Amino acid sequence: MKFTKYFRAGDIATLDIGCGNGAFSFAAANLGNRVIGIDFNKEKLKRCLEFRDYLKIKPDRCDFMVLNAYDLLSLQKQFDQVICFETLEHIKNDEEVLELIGKILKPGGVLHLCVPSAKRKPYYGEIISEIENGNHVRLGYTFENLEKMLRNFGFTILHRNTAVGITSQRLLNLINWLDLNLFKNLSERGKDLIHLIIFIVYYPFSFVIKFLDKFIPGEPLNIFVIAEKLKFLE
Q: What is the pLDDT of residues 103-118, one digit of tens each?
A: 999 999 999 999 999 9
Rounded mean pLDDT, 30-51: 95
- pLDDT class of 37 with cuts at 50, 70, 90: very high
Q: What is the mean pLDDT of residues 40-51?
A: 94
What pLDDT band is residue 232 in, cutting at 50, 70 and 90? low
Interatomic CA distance for residues 201 and 168, integer angstroms: 14
How many of the other CB atoms lie within 10 Å of CB of 3? 19
Reported confidence tier of residue 150, pLDDT bands at 50, 70, 90? very high
Strand ranges for the chain from DSSP E: 13-17, 34-39, 62-66, 79-85, 105-116, 155-163, 222-229
Task: Give me the mean pLDDT over the 30-53 stretch.
Answer: 95
Output the CA–CA distances (angstroms, integers) from residue 125 to 27, 66, 139, 162, 176, in the order listed.
30, 27, 13, 22, 7
Parallel, antiparallel or unpaired: strands 222-229 and 105-116:
antiparallel
Domains of the chain and any CATH numbers: 2-165+218-229 (3.40.50.150), 166-216 (no CATH)
pLDDT at 188 over 60: yes
User: Using one digit for the tens of pLDDT, what is the confidence trace for 58-95?
Assistant: 999 999 999 999 999 999 999 999 999 999 999 999 99
Task: Give the pLDDT of residue 184.
Answer: 87
Q: What is the mean pLDDT of the chain?
A: 94
Q: Could you tell me if 224 and 163 are in contact, meaning their C-beta atoms sit under 8 angstroms apart? A: yes
Banded pLDDT at 233 (limits 50, 70, 90): low
The stretch 44-71 carries a mean pLDDT of 96
Sheet holding 105-116, edge to edge: 62-66, 34-39, 13-17, 79-85, 105-116, 222-229, 155-163
d(CA 68, CA 40): 6
pLDDT, tens only, 159-174? 999 999 999 999 899 8
